Structure formats: structure tokens, C-alpha cells
Amino acid sequence: MSACPMTNKPPHAAAAAAARSQHKPIPKFPFSRTHGLDPPAEYAHLRETDPVSKVELFDGTQAWLVTRYDDCCSVLTDQRLSKERKRPGFPELSAGGKAASKNRPTFVDMDPPDHMRQRGMVDSLFSKASVDKLRPTIKKTADELLDKLVEHGCKDGPVDLVAWFCLPVPTYTIYHILGVPTADLPYLTRCAAIRSSGSANAAEAAGANTELLQYIAALVDQRLASPKDDLLSKLAVEQVKPGHIEKEDAVQIGFLLLIAGNATMVNMINLGIITLLNHPSQFAELKANPKELMDPFIDELCRYHTASALACRRVAKEDIVLGGKKIKTSEGLICATQSANRDPRAFPPPPSPDDFDIHRARTHDSLAFGWGEHRCIAEYLSKVELEIAFTALFERLPGLGLGCEEGELRLARADRDVGVEELPVLW
């Protein structure tokens, strides 16, 4: 008599397997990129095997990492979850972030109704109509910067496009919106560069933060005494003087808008150039037909690289279930939007979501600017800046190329948002 095949494990073996699953090592987060500008490999693995899973943060605390598109959208629209960083269990990713969470909050760290009440104080300045009025100013900035760059030339070797163009374009634009005097632009740009640089130490970054806050506070005082047509004047006249908010609130809002998307915008220009040079046929198509392809290019660029990928975090105000996992009250959640933007369920092949393709069918919005009520207030402004910056670069520097091998570029720290510290170019 032949032996029957054993199709079931004995009860004690099944229990042991379950115990091992429950006690598997919890990975440390943030993950690190191991191959240039590509997302950390852990994202693709977790997306398919454990899309809502525990990770360990810098201080030994744990949070839930969410890696699929639909789950991220669910988290970012769930009113049972909070954006308030002072709540117990909110997931901070560094000691600096933990310290910053104690500061006076702005609308990006508020729940309803406070969030929309404060956001509504400034959102009209970021509307499509308001941003379209800024187009001539942004174009003038880009053209003047490229005039200086072309005059300087590259006969003596590669030139750092970050310092000459990619940093000042978005920086000068937000300064214009805030109402910063033109004479102060170089000083403030240096401060912004120090605080956003991966090479700056903690003391240097903190010092730059302090200088920026002190500068904005002095500018708010000036606008209280003598208002002009700018964002800080709007806050001073409409909110501070009537007593709706305190002066410190106006300072923090100004500081947020000054620094929030600056490093991201700089990196998106850098990453766009590198990506196009790596896809010469698509680059040629874009230059030949920018009117039709610029918007799809920018959308695909933001999906493909997701340069602000660690900001979508929440903490549970009550117990919820997500992806079959029970999230308990005061447990933190981190939406890995970079992973969600590579999710084949949302961006089905062909082409693969890991490929860059400006002709990709737009089945879903990317999560590059977040989702839900906290979606980035400056999304349209960011896309207009990218459109103008790339158009100006293609027109003025048609022979633009890297001034070094891509593997020699100075990249942002591997466990931080994807980015490039310097971009040596020739043309």
C-alpha cells in the first residue's frame, strides 16, 4: 500500500509558522535607494507581499507603511486619521522632524476645520487665475538667469545648473509672491540653499532656519505698518490686524510657503533634465512638439520620480482596518507615495510603471502632490514653473548635456527624498 501524500502540516507546525510570521524582523525606515535615482527596492517587494506593514523609525518607534495606490488614497481621505503632528504616535522620520513637530503648526499640520480655515487665508494666491498672472514674471526670471548663464559660458568646464538656474527659478518666484524685496533675494537664496542642502550639518541648517524666520518676522512687521500687494501684506491686513491669527502664525505660514516645496522644485528640474537625456527619443519628441507634450511630460516626470515622497503621514484617532490590518488608536501611518506611483494596479502596463513614458495613458492621477484635502496648495504653480523652466532651457541651451558621467553626480542622501545636489552641465 502506497503512502498517502501529506497535504496538511500538523497543528504544531502551522502554529510555529504563524509565530515566525508574527515575529519576522521589522525593517527600518526610511529605506535607502541602492541604484542611483531608482526607488528603494523594498517598495516593490512590500507592494506585492505585505502592502500594509510595520516599519521601525529612527527612535525605535513603529509605524504602518502603506505601499499601494488605493490604500494610500484611502489613508489620505480618511477623517479617522489625523495630520496633527503633536498627537501621540504621529510618525516622525528624524530627530529634526521630531523637534519641528513642537513648533506652532500651520495648515499643513491641521485637521478640519482649522486646516481649511487657515489654508483659505492664502489659497486664492495659488489659484489658476492668480498663477497665470505670474507667468510673465516667472518667464522673465528664467530668461534673465539664462542670459547670465550663457554670458558666463562653459568654455572653462562644466557649470552647476543648480546654482545658476534650478535653485533661483522657484526660489525667486515664491519670494515674489511673499513680497520679498528684490535686493534681498541673493541673501535669502543662500539661506534657503543651506537649509535644504544634504551636505549642511545640523547647526548650519538650524542657523539658516533661524535667519529665515527672523527675516520673515521683520517683513511682517513692515507689512503691518505699510501694506503692499503681496501674500504677507494680505495676511497682515486681513488676518493679523483683525485678530484672526497672531503675528507668529503669519510668520510660520510665510516660512512654510518659502521652504515647503523649494527643494522639491529644484530637484524636479534637475531630475527632468537627467531623465530626458536618458530618453533621447522622447526628448526629441518633446522639443519638436512642446505644446502637445509638455503637460504629459511634467505629469509623467512627477509620477516617475516623486521628489517629495515622505510627507504624507497620519496618526489614527480611533481603531481602523486597512488592507486587512488593524490599525490601533495612536498608531502612525506613512503613505509611500513613491511606491504608490509605481503601483501596476494604478498604472497598468504596458508600459511598465517602472518605465518613463510621456505617452502613458492617464488612468489615475499620480500622488506626487498628495491626495485629498491636503493636496499641495501650490500644485498648479509648480507645474507652471516646470513648464516655463524647461521651455526656456530647451530654447536657450539646445545642446544641453551632462558635464560628467551620471554615476558621478552628487545625489541626495540615499534615505532621503530623491534629488541631485549639483548638476554639472555643458552646452
The 3-class SS string of 232-257 reads HHHHHHHHHCCCCCCHHHHHHHHHHH
- Are 169 and 393 in contact by the 8 Å Cβ rule? The answer is no
- Are 138 and 169 in contact by the 8 Å Cβ rule? The answer is yes
**Is 424 strand, coil or helix?**
strand
Catalytic residue among 53, 264, 275, 337: 264
Asked about 166 being catalytic, the answer comes back as: no
Catalytic residue among 72, 73, 335, 376: 376
**Grid cell locating 170:** 522657484
- Euclidean distance between CA atoms 37 and 418, whole angstroms: 6
- Are 231 and 254 in contact by the 8 Å Cβ rule? The answer is yes
Asked about 49 being catalytic, the answer comes back as: no
Compute the half-sphere exposure of residue 81: CA atoms within 13 Å on the CB side of its CA.
28
Catalytic residue among 71, 109, 230, 417: 417
- Euclidean distance between CA atoms 211 and 217, whole angstroms: 10
**Is 199 strand, coil or helix?**
coil
Asked about 264 being catalytic, the answer comes back as: yes
Asked about 308 being catalytic, the answer comes back as: yes
- Euclidean distance between CA atoms 217 and 230, whole angstroms: 15
- Residue by residue, DSSP assigns 13-57 as HHHHHHHHHHTSPPPBSS----STTSPPHHHHHHHHH-SEEEEE-
Number of Cβ within 10 Å of residue 243's Cβ equals 7
- Euclidean distance between CA atoms 365 and 372, whole angstroms: 12
Catalytic residue among 308, 339, 366, 382: 308
* Beta-bridge mates of residue 426: 401
**Burial, 393: exposed, middle or buried (Cβ in 10 Å; 0-12, 13-18, 19+)?**
buried
Give the catalytic positions in this structure.
264, 308, 376, 417
